[in-house]
Structure 1
């Protein structure tokens, strides 16, 4: 009798451990809302591209890859930013948010010194091509900030705000998982970036 109970319990325990260990995959959430090039916008985050890239040992750079889908625009099909943070950075929600000024330097934004943000690169894709930089319709913001709310081994949460000379303002929120937490199959969470560009 005991043998039968034990044989029936083993598959049940194995299934419980498997579902508990795997859990549900995290999904990137967020949006870009406000005014861009004189138009009111509400762009959803790109849940496939937007990720926190880091390795569990803190040996590779910690990077944010954030992308939004500008719905309803023919000239702009992607809008976002990439950023590198201090290697292995973590931030608890209870510590309060960290806000970093992104300073205008020619045609780009540069994080103020002495902060956990090493670099910031705007990205866009549209009819005129894709890559780093700002859309031609809006140009470079007059001022910008990045606020980090929480960063742990599996996800990063925060928002950035772009303010333009025209009075336009965009607030872009993000809660982005690592590839492993999103179920992308990477496991290591390093995002495959093995170049050492310190």
Structure 2
């Protein structure tokens, strides 16, 4: 459990309320498809590491942790985004999807004011290392969008699109569960470990 807390640590996330899993466990599904650096790409989502982190009592804002697996294409081993959503955001199936514009600031993408997105942080891993920001070879997209189709207590569905100045476009879809809905505490161990209350 401590390993999971370290993994999910972002401003305010240390206070997450951990819940025990119930029901069927599930993995995230989705993919990134399109063109990047003039290459056709089709990258699966990382089914174990992509999650919606949400506190059902509303003490912290919901976060989407989205990670895709390029498997070395475009010199990348990981590609994704950490997305902080606005307090109280929810969207049921059948509601009109919500789309937020992602605006190029020169160094990054930032969500438009007043949208359901509070912050956007691109993530990547390559031969140089891993961290936040866009890959140096592709640079920052000219603009983008995030569309939420479902934001429920136990999962989120939607897509984000990056549009580049050279005409490249990448669409990344996601259907990501919460750690509880995934059936583990995000450690890949299926919820193993000492669950009793012994000292």
Pick the TM interval, shorter chain: 0.7 to 0.9
Distance 1:114 1:74, change over 3 A: closer
Query: Structure 2 CA distance, aligned partners of 1:82 and 1:23?
Result: 27
1:173 equivalent in structure 2:
173
TM-score relative to the length of structure 1: 0.80
Instruction: Output the aligned Cα RMSD.
Output: 1.5
Query: Structure 1 CA distance, aligned partners of 2:74 and 2:134?
Result: 16
Per-residue CA distance 1:111-137 (angstroms, 9 max, x = gap): 000111100010000111111100112
Per-residue CA distance 1:128-171 (angstroms, 9 max, x = gap): 11111001121110110000000000000000000111111000
1:24 and 2:24 are equivalent in the alignment: yes
* Cα deviation, residue 97, structure 1: 0.3
Match of 1:124, SS state, is strand
Stretches of structure 2 lacking an aligned partner (at least 5 in a row): 1-20, 187-199
2:42 equivalent in structure 1:
42
Dislocated runs of 4+, deviation >4 Å: none
TM-score relative to the length of structure 2: 0.80
Stretches of structure 1 lacking an aligned partner (at least 5 in a row): 1-20, 187-198
The total of aligned residue pairs comes to 166
